[in-house]
Amino acid sequence: MATKYGGYMGEALWMDLDQGTHRPFEISDRDRELFLGNKGLGTKIIWDHLKPGIDPLGEENLLVITTAPLTGTGAPCSSRFNVSCKSPLTGGVMSSNSGGTFGINLKRAGYDALVLAGKARQPIYIEITEDKIEIHDAADLWGLDTEETQAVLAKRHGKNIGQMVIGPAGENLVRFACIISGERAHGRGGVGAVMGSKMIKALVASGKKKIPIPNPEEYKKVIKEWIDLLKAHPATGGTLPAYGTLGMMGKANILSVLPTRNFQKGSYEFTDEIDGEALVKKHLKKNTGCLSCPIRCARVVEINGKEVKGPEYETVGMFGSNFGNRDLWKICEWNYLLDKMGLDTISAGSVIDFATELTEKGLLKSDLQWGDAARIAPLIEDIAHRRGLGNDLAEGAMRLSWKYGGEAFAIHSKGLELAAYEPRRSAGMGLGYATANRGGCHLNAGYMIYFENLGPVNVSPLSTLGKPQLAIFQQNAFDAISACGTCIFTSYAVLPGIASKVKPYGTMAKVLDITLRGSGGVLGMVLNLPAGMIPFHLPLIPHSKVIGTLTGMKMSLGEFLAAGDRVYNLERMFNIREGLVENRLPDRLTKEPQDPKNPATKVALGAMLPVYYKTRGWDSRGIPTVKKLKGLGLDFLLSALPDAKKTMPELQGAFHTRLVEIDGEQDVTIKNMIARNAAVKKPK
Ligand code: SF4
């Protein structure tokens, strides 16, 4: 097996865990052209090999690890690699990427991708090098937290190996368990629970193989131009390195998009005690970043004399304003604990916030209270070990609402809890959350909040005009950026640096606002042009030029965006095949105005969805049309299109019935796993 394209190793592995065997796995060059890598190829693999309706925590699910052409090639932020599977939280498509240590090492060991099928009978970890693929007993690791596990494996295999590990949350099948790689997390959608269900505690990889770069001098040149652009840009060379993602919290608060007390409000009275400046002043030790990153948005704090990762904006939002808590130091400690337990910080925070409101309203008996920090650390451990109330919370906000009520204010989309952006003051963000294939993910949503509130220009946040088209552009661009193997934050440079000098609410800001909103029709047409009709590159979106130079593929801006559109449609078709068709948000966000005196402060989803569907080339139910799929070269999806006579409620109803059935089967699996894990004494 090989490939004619640069940036790829040309080999992939399929491991059958039941048998303990492995074999080469073919990825065609056609799939590389269509889906590039990372979430693109990962989604294609689960599309090809997963039967619809399977139990995500059962043996039939796959855990697919994919890299991308840029991974490990020295391009900015290019340590990104991806995990794909069917999500135990949503029942739909899941992809989760990180800038951890494993992806580069997997490539250097000689592989672009690794597919893990079936289930081991006992805890294992897998070692992959240039010379061997070995399954090791992990009985001595099972029960350890992610930090302890990585320390043992580094001692055993060398400190430069790449690792992916789960903590107690993954072992106990918590639906939002994550996978940790170095200090970075594949956070969302329960990928750690799928790894735990297969009894895989860890993966380690190392190697020295060279990644093929056919034209190294030219590649170095385009990479240097890109790094210079990122360093010179006020966002990627200024705000992000200085304050990290937390730098935008103050602005989020002023513009009422900072979720507060379970999204009841959009601003928090003690924001200045938990924002980016507060972290820099009180707790920051230094900046850090993923491998190969010139932006370095990550923070380092010191806990118990040890330098550890500091919290991101989303974590502070969920455990700060959204929990009514002003103690930033506690959030730093919880962030560290969440990573050690292997829990997604966004979902964990959100479900605690929801449970606190349930308690306040008398729907749940618990001792949770807004801002009461004393209960949180033990609760995080209880969630990870599925003990007491923690066992209920380990199911996520959607299932918690099925059990205790409060569906109107269980803040999720498709079962995935929303990240820390209040969409009632950001129409496009609300639309993005509702349509995102992963569910309540700000990135899969297209991160419209950057255009509407938090970036250098503010495209009227409450207006629906032009938002469907902008959201589609962003969603496609983000999927293309992910698929090529770099970080979404490289897209911050898409708005010229000069935009940051525009005076908020001044004349120029108004002109930009009107122009961007009014460009919806034109943008809609551009989005539907054949890729070949956009044959150029744009300096502020250098990704297409870089990918073309590295791989040798024909790659203009049009082709690059088409790849993103293709990935988005493939993800959508995965969900449709499962029956997960509905794009909705909880009533709090669509029916209750954030400001009772201003009825416009809610997400006008009904007004935006029809335009969104039409612009995407989907029918009125949100199903891609034959023309759309053929236009993207996705003819293999045509046979999976649902019966045109089936209504949305019929399709969604069947999905819900199957989800509840699977949950019933999983109750037994989860109980057995908890009992098994509790019986195993934690190794010293
Ligand atoms: S910008 Fe931040 S998240 Fe992205 S690669 Fe760099 S350090 Fe990692």
Tens digit of pLDDT for each residue in 7-20? Answer: 999 999 999 999 99
In angstroms, what is the span from residue 457 Cα to ligand 1's centroid? Answer: 23
Determine which residue's CA is closest to atom 7 belonging to ligand 1: 289
CB 409 within 8 A of CB 353: no
Q: Residues 344-398: pLDDT tens digits?
A: 999 999 999 999 999 999 999 999 999 999 999 999 999 999 999 999 999 999 9
DSSP string, 574-602: HHHHHT-------HHHHHS-SSTT-TTSS
DSSP code of 196? H
Q: Is the dihedral of CA 32, 34, 37, 43 positive or negative?
A: negative
* Pocket-testing residue among 81, 227, 443, 489, ligand 1, by greatest number of atoms within 8 A of Cβ: 489
Determine which residue's CA is closest to atom 8 belonging to ligand 1: 290
Q: Is the dihedral of CA 293, 163, 177, 474 positive or negative?
A: positive
How many percent of the chain have pLDDT more than 70?
Answer: 99
In angstroms, what is the span from residue 280 Cα to ligand 1's centroid? Answer: 18
Q: Residues 208-226: pLDDT tens digits?
A: 999 999 999 999 999 999 9
Say which CATH class 244-420 falls into. mainly alpha
Whether the pLDDT of residue 166 is over 60: the answer is: yes
Whether the pLDDT of residue 609 is over 60: the answer is: yes
Query: For the CA atoms of the chain, what is the radius of gyration?
Result: 23
What does the alpha-carbon distance between residue 284 and residue 287 come to, in Å, rounded to a whole number? 8
Q: How far is CA 577 from CA 53, 61, 78, in A?
A: 9, 15, 32
DSSP code of 451? I
The closest-lying atom of ligand 1 relative to the alpha carbon of residue 294 is 6
Q: 512: pLDDT confidence band, cut at 50, 70 and 90?
A: confident
Say which CATH class 217-227+422-642 falls into. mainly alpha
In angstroms, what is the span from residue 488 Cα to ligand 1's centroid? Answer: 8
Closest among 596, 249, 581, 245 to 424, alpha carbons compared: 596
User: Could you tell me the CATH superfamily of domain 12-205?
Assistant: Aldehyde ferredoxin oxidoreductase, N-terminal domain (3.60.9.10)
In angstroms, what is the span from residue 100 Cα to ligand 1's centroid? Answer: 10
First to last CA, the chain: 44
Determine which residue's CA is closest to atom 2 belonging to ligand 1: 297
Residues with CB under 6 A from ligand 1: 77, 99, 289-290, 293, 295-298, 487, 489
Three-state secondary-structure class, residue 660? helix
Q: Residues 250-286: pLDDT tens digits?
A: 999 999 999 999 999 999 999 999 999 999 999 999 9
Domain segments of the chain as ranges: 12-205, 217-227+422-642, 244-420
The closest-lying atom of ligand 1 relative to the alpha carbon of residue 490 is 1
In angstroms, what is the span from residue 25 Cα to ligand 1's centroid? Answer: 30
